[in-house]
Structure formats: C-alpha cells, structure tokens
C-alpha cells in the first residue's frame, strides 16, 4: 500500500494504490486513516501521512492546496518514484521529473534571481600531467553547488528559497574561465596543472578536491620558491616539516604529484621534488618513520665530516710504508674510504670502472687505517694477485699475509667458496676490516655465500665492484645489505615498490643514489683518465643461403616442439631453443649433430674472425677473442693450428698457476703469442692485458656490463695505444634481436652501470618473438 501523487492545477491530489507496479486501480472508496497508518510502506508516504493528519483530512483522495505546500514537503515528494501530472480529470497520467514538479507548483513571482558567488572547479582525480574536473556555481543563498550545465530556466529549491541564476552574471564567470584556459568550459573535462594554476590566481574561481575523507579541501601549489623558502629550513627541520615532506615523498614514490595533507590538497612538481632539496635533508626524510637502526645509520651519513686533508693523508701512507704513486682520483678514493672509516660508518662501496685501480686504493687505505686484523675475500682467480700487489706496493712481509684461516695475521686472503665452507671458524674471529672484491658474488642475498659472509664479525666493510648494477638494481642493494642489514627496510619500503613498474626504474635508481651517495663512489674512465681512444664496432655478418636455411630449420624444430609439448615444459623448451640458436650463431658445428647436421658448411662468422686476426698479426699486434662457449674455443684452436698461429687459452678449467703464466706470456711483447682465446666468464675479471690492441667479442651477451668487463681487460690504466673492439653479430638472427633489446635497455640510467631487467625475462621476450609464442 502506498500513495500516488497527482498534480492537479496548483494543488497535489494524493490517492491510495494497492498494486505498486501499476498506475491503477486507485482506491477511491473512503479509506479510514487509522488503517493507512499501519499499511503504508514508504518512509516518505508515512511523513506525508502525518502532514495530512495535521490538515484534518480523513479519507482518500487527499488534497494539499498550494497555500499548504512547503519546500520541505516538495523535497519529500520528489524522492518518491510515483509522481504524476494531469491537466484535467480526463487526461491520462504522466510521469514528470522533479524540477518540472516545482515549476508547475510555483510562478515567477514565487522565486528570486540570485548571483553566483564563484565558479567552483572540483577535481575528481589526478593524473600525471593533468586533472579531471567538474564545474559548479557557488552561492551565498543556497547550500548546494549547482553544475554549470544546469538549465537556468528551472527554479532552484534550497533553504526555503525558490530561485533562478542570473544569466548575465553566469556569462561573466564563464568568460573569465574561458579567457584563462582558452577552452569551452562546458566541454572541458581535463585541465593541465598550468591551467589550474592560472585559474587559481583569479579570486572568482575556487579550486577544491574531494579527498579520500569525502571532505572537500582547498588545493594549493608548491612552487619552487615556496618549496625552498617557506617549507624547509634544512638546518632546523621540525617534526611537522619532516611529516609534510615525508608525505610528499610517499606520494612521489606512488607516482602521484599531490598529497592530501591536513586541510589542503598540495600539488607539487614531480620533476623537481628531488632536485630542490639537498641530499642531507632527503636522508632525514627517508629515515622518518623507520626503525632505530636505519635512523642511526643515516644519522652517521648525514653528520659525516672530512677528518683529514689529502696532503696529510699522502704523507701518512708514505710513512706507513706505501711505495707507489697514486693518481689524483685514486688519492680521492683512498681519502673517501678513510673518512668513512674515521666517521664510524659501517662501510662503503667502491664501484670505480674496471681498470681504474680499485685494488691499489684499498691497499693504501689499509696502511692508512692502521688496522690490525683484516680479511680480504675475492674470486679464487684473484687471491694470488692480491698478495702480489700488497707485497709490491707496501713493506708488508710475506709472513704477515695468509691464504688460509689463521688467528694472528695482518691480512688473510680467501676465496668466496673457501670462506663459505669455513664460516664456522671465521665466525669466532673479529676483523677490523672486511674487503669483498668483485662483490657481484654476493649480488643475491638469498645465496649461501651471502648468508655466510654477512655473519663474519667486523668493524668496517669495503665492497669492490666495477659493475654495481649487473642485472638489476637488486644487485646493488644486496651488496649494500652486506654493509648494513638494516638497509633492507629502506629498500623494501621505498625502492622495491618502484621496481614493480618498469616506468619507475629510473626513479628507483635516482633515489638510490640520492639516498646513499655518501657510501658509494664510482668514477668512470672517460672522466678521470686520458686513455687512448677506443673504437668499438658492431659488425653484422650475413648468413649465406645455406646458413640461413639451416638457421630456419632449427627455429622450426623448436617452434613445432613448443606447439606439441606439454604446457609445463614450455619455458624449458623455449630456453633450450634459444641456447641452440646462440650456439649456431657462434660456430655452427657446436650444435649437437642429432639436432642439426652442419658437416661441411661454411661458417661466415669464423671467416670474418680469421680475417680480423690475420690483419692484426700482419700488423704485429696482439688480439683477444672472447667467447661464451668453450666448445667454440675448441673449434677455434683447430682453425689456428691449421694456419700455424701461436695462441694462448684461458677458461674456467685453467689453473691459477697457468692463469698467471699465460697472462705474463701474453703481456711479453717478445713471447710470440699474439692471440689469446678467453672464455667470457673466466676472463671477465682480474686480468690486465694492456699489450693487446684489439679484442673480438664472438657473440653478444644479454648484459652489456658483462661485455664491458671483458673489454676492460685491454682498455685500462697502462694502455698506451688506441684499442679496437669488434662485436660480431649475425644479421637477421637471434643475435640481432639480443643486440636490439640490450640497446633499448641500456640507456635507462647513465649515472651508474648499465641497468637491465632480469636476463631470464629478456630471454623469454626473445623466445616469444622467434618462436611465435603467445
């Protein structure tokens, strides 16, 4: 049971309806009011019923004349779903909208013309460079804001007033708006931040945002001047300022350019947020709301001081028995380490490019520190080199250096694997300084090597690597965790969320450097050395028709296998397919004959390699050939024997003794060995081969940082001649696709080593392209 409201002339007639889903039948018999009291379902009907009782009407249909209509009553009726009108008793019922109801009930004399107070712009949501908006008129006389699209001929009903908007004043406001943004206001859904800022300067325009709390807040803009002059006093940051800027950084990390702070929405320039604040203030803000350990660590960074000047340092290390001459940038590196040590920092990451003498800087620091018990952990191939360099550049005795675990030696040098296996013994000792060379060995904090080494007790940690970011930014942070484990919280809360979105990779690296710049030092060769030029050429080798046919045959083999294979093996099949294609593009015959028969085939890349080597030998120049596959090195040895070329070879199976012997022979200009075959993995670190003029990278690798490690064997301190690097790539092959992907990824960030996403994801990207995987 409910009421139906029928407009009749200037009054409302109310009838009772039993069937709620139809317009009829209406009950026209005399209905006792007391019965209706219990049968009405709608809350609105019950309120109207109480009003009818006040009018002393006792039976349906009820009538409410114009004189008894109030605005409150009209509002209640407007909420119902059954409002109808008829011009006379005989006309059919017709549903009317709410505004028409009021228009019918009042005349022009019943409402007044009102002036909008301001044009209101309500921000619905924020985007990177713009905002979506809605437009309204604000009034003093009424509570609600009225949309710009509202028809001014329709009266407004608010606060016991009936009104329409003044046409001329509305036009004036819209003209102001259109002049500022040069757009049609009614059709504009988005505004740029510049447009919004211009609008804010006009007193007749009010900009607000409906925040998460559902309250409308005013919008403020943080200009550079305000940012620098009013918000921050970097020497006296209050907790309120820290809280404000912490909120701003949190928004920045979430890719927002605004914050909902106190009673305002504050917009800021995302590009300037890091540039416009000094790094020490940034560190304070980043440690805000973090645990005590990370705050202590960052406070040490903030308060670091230069405790000794360079001249004093140089005199001191000479007095301590250092008998080498450091280059200017090497003096800076030694001084940087010493200041970290004397300021009671936990350690530092020395990330100079390969070939800039990280080892000699650390040796000089050891003498300067006057430490009594030190541990150096390095790849097994570099242990003897460390000992040789220490004995060469210092007065330290051979007996003071141990290559096994002993209690009383000044310096102990161990391999990563040996240190891991003897961790229970090492845990019982206390070291002044722990040095980790080629620290990419601990780039994964989940490995046994990492977990073992971080348990070693020490006062100061030096991490050395020429490739701080080898595969991903995780590499760098994992190394830093070895300096101070509390950095893990800083990483997970601030940096890791950015890595989930590829568009934020650059931001993640930028923030990492800005936060931890005091404990990281990296110099590049081109910045600090006047080395001879290096000419790097990528040579595209074209398949012969036969080679091309065999390549496509291999592609089709794995494409068919992927289509017919079990879904659980799709990835392993694809990765094997990539391996076989890469092998084919190295030397065709290293692909298993059971998979592809290549007997008697020409090998265009081998031909190109022999051509380059022949030119080099004819010019009496030494050359290195790097390959990822030892089976390819095997084949090349056969080719060299056929033409009586003398060569040396170094790979993972080469002993430490032979490794040093081969390097010495190759460096000797009179040794007769002009060719050095080296596996990319075994020869990427710890080799000084400056006697070579040229190097050939026989296959491209997924990560240019690894390639650069190889090239740095010849392009380093001590090189006196122009060097030539040849990267050989088969055109229209997997190698060209790898090269293209690496070039795309390589430019992400130039301030640190090349930063790529995970190699495995790159491989699958190539696999999907080659094998037409979905």
Q: Where are the domains of the chain?
A: 2-105, 112-210, 310-527, 535-770
Q: What is the dihedral of CA 310, 313, 318, 322, to 10 degrees?
A: -90
Q: What is the pLDDT of residue 225?
A: 40
CA distances from 250 to 81, 267, 273 (A): 47, 13, 11
Q: Among candidates 552, 589, 566, 538, which has minimal Cα distance to 699?
A: 538
pLDDT at 192: 78
Closest by Cα among 126, 231, 127, 119 to 173: 119
Find the largest Cα–Cα distance for the chain: 127
Rg (CA), the chain: 40
Token pair in block for residue 565:
């294979």
Query: In 84-161, where does DSSP find H-type helix?
Result: 98-105
Looking at domain 310-527, its CATH superfamily turns out to be: Tandem AAA-ATPase domain (3.40.50.10810)
Q: Which among 460, 472, 562 has a CA at the least distance from the CA of 509?
A: 472
Across-strand partners of 126? 131
Nearest CA to 484 out of 225, 207, 294 is that of 294
Residues 46 and 76 sit within 8 Å (Cβ to Cβ): no
Quote the CA–CA distance of 615 and 97 in Å, as a whole number.
92
pLDDT value for 160: 44
pLDDT (0 to 100) of residue 585? 94
372, two tokens: 């009594």
Pick the CATH number of 535-770 from 3.40.605.10, 3.40.50.300, 3.40.50.12780, 3.10.50.40: 3.40.50.300
Q: Which residues of the chain are modeled with pLDDT < 50? A: 29, 99, 106-109, 154, 158-161, 185, 224-232, 748-760
Integer Cα distance of 561 and 570 in angstroms: 9
DSSP letter at 752 equals: S
What pLDDT, on the 0 to 100 scale, is given for residue 467?
79
Buried b or exposed e, range 603-619, using 16+ CB within 10 angstroms? bbbbebbbebbeebbee
Of 32, 33, 5, residue with least CA distance to 17 = 5
Q: Are 603 and 546 in contact (CB under 8 A)?
A: no
Query: Rounded to whole angstroms, how far apart are CA atoms 47 and 728?
Result: 88
Q: Which of 524, 521, 494 is nearest to 509 (CA)?
A: 494
Q: How far apart are CA 59 and CA 746, in angstroms?
A: 86
| CA triple 395-401-406, angle to 5 deg | 150
3-class state of residue 200 by DSSP: helix
The three-state secondary structure class of 508 is helix
β partners of residue 678: 626, 650
d(C-alpha 268, C-alpha 596), whole Å: 61
- Who contacts 414 (Cβ-Cβ below 8 Å, separation ≥6)? 375, 376, 377, 378, 383, 403, 404, 405, 422
Of 202, 208, 282, residue with least CA distance to 249: 282
Query: Environment class of residue 712 by beta-carbon count within 10 Å: exposed (0-12), middle (13-18) or buried (19+)?
Result: buried
Calculate the CA 516 to chain-centre distance.
16
Give the per-residue pLDDT at 758: 36
Tokens coding 11: 């009054």
Q: Identical fold at 310-527 and 535-770?
A: yes
Is residue 631 within 8 A of residue 638, CB to CB? The reply is no
List, in sequence order, the alpha helices (H) in 394-544: 416-421, 423-426, 448-453, 473-483, 487-490, 496-499, 505-516, 525-528
Half-sphere exposure of 55 (CA within 13 A, CB side): 17
Q: Residues 111, 159: contact at Cβ < 8 Å? A: no
């Amino acid at each position: 049971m409910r009421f139906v409201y029928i407009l009749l002339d200037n009054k409302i007639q109310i009838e009772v309806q039993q069937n709620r889903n139809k317009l009829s039948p209406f009950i026209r018999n005399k209905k006792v009011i007391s019965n209706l009291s219990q049968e009405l379902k709608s809350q609105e009907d019950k309120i109207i019923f109480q009003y009818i009782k006040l009018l002393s009407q006792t039976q349906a249909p009820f009538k409410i004349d114009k004189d008894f209509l109030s605005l409150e009553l009209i509002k209640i009726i407007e909420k119902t779903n059954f409002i109808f009108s008829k011009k006379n008793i005989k006309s059919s019922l017709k549903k009317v909208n709410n505004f028409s109801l009021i228009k019918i009930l009042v005349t022009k004399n019943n409402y007044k013309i009102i002036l909008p107070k301001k044009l209101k712009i309500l921000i619905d949501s924020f985007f990177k460079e713009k905002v979506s908006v809605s437009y309204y008129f604000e009034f003093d006389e009424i509570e609600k804001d009225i949309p710009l699209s509202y028809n001014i001929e329709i009266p407004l009903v608010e606060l016991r007033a009936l009104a329409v908007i003044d046409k001329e004043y509305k036009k004036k406001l819209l003209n102001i708006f259109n002049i500022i943004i040069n757009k049609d206001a009614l059709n504009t859904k988005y505004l740029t931040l510049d447009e919004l800022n211009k609008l804010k300067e006009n007193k007749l325009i009010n900009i607000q945002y409906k925040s998460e709390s559902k309250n409308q807040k005013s919008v403020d803009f943080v200009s550079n001047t305000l940012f620098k002059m009013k918000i921050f006093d970097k020497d006296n940051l209050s907790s309120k300022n820290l809280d404000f800027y912490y909120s701003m950084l949190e928004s920045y990390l979430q890719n927002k350019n605004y914050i909902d702070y106190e009673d305002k929405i504050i917009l800021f320039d995302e590009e300037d947020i890091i540039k416009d604040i000094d790094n020490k203030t940034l560190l304070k803000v980043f440690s805000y709301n973090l645990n005590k350990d990370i705050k202590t660590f960052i406070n040490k960074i903030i308060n670091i001081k230069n405790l000794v000047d360079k001249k004093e340092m140089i005199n001191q290390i000479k007095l301590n028995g250092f008998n080498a001459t450091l280059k200017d940038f090497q003096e800076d590196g030694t001084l940087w380490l010493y200041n970290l040590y004397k300021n009671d920092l936990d350690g530092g990451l020395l990330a100079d490019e390969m070939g800039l003498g990280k080892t000699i800087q650390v040796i000089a620091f050891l003498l300067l520190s006057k430490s009594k018990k030190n541990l150096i952990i390095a790849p097994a191939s570099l242990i003897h080199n460390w000992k040789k360099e220490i004995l060469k550049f210092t007065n330290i005795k051979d007996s003071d250096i141990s290559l096994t675990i002993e209690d009383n030696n000044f310096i102990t040098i161990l391999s990563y694997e040996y240190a891991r296996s003897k961790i229970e013994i090492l845990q019982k000792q206390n070291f002044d300084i722990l040095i980790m060379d080629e620290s990419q060995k601990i780039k994964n904090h989940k490995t046994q090597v990492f977990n073992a080494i971080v348990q070693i007790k020490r006062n100061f940690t030096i991490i050395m690597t020429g490739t701080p970011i080898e595969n991903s930014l995780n590499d760098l942070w994992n190394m830093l965790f070895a300096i101070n484990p509390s950095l893990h919280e800083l990483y997970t809360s601030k940096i890791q969320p950015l890595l989930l979105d590829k568009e934020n990779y650059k931001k993640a690296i930028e923030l990492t450097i800005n936060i931890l710049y005091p404990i990281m030092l990296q110099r590049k060769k081109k910045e600090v050395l006047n080395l001879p030029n290096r000419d790097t050429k990528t040579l595209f080798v074209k398949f012969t028709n036969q080679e091309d046919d065999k390549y496509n045959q291999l592609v089709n083999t794995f494409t068919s296998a992927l289509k017919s294979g079990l879904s659980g093996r799709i990835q392993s099949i694809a990765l094997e397919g990539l391996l076989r294609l890469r092998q084919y593009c190295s030397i065709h015959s290293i692909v298993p004959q059971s998979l592809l028969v290549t007997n008697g085939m020409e090998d265009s890349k081998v031909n190109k390699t022999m051509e380059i080597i022949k030119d080099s030998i004819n010019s009496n120049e030494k050359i290195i050939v790097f390959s990822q596959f030892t089976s390819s090195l095997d084949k090349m040895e056969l080719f060299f024997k056929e033409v009586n070329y003398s060569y040396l070879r170094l790979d993972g199976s080469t002993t430490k003794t032979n490794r040093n012997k081969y390097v010495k022979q190759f460096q000797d200009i009179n040794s007769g060995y002009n060719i050095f075959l080296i596996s990319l993995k075994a020869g990427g670190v710890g080799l000084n081969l400056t006697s070579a003029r040229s190097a050939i990278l026989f296959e491209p690798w997924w990560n240019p940082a690894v390639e650069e490690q190889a090239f740095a064997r010849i392009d380093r301190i001590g090189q006196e001649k122009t060097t030539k690097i040849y990267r050989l790539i088969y055109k229209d092959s997997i190698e060209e696709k790898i090269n293209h992907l690496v070039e795309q990824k390589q430019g992400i960030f130039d301030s640190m080593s090349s930063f790529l996403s995970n190699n495995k994801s790159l491989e699958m990207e190539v696999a999907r392209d080659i094998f037409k995987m979905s």
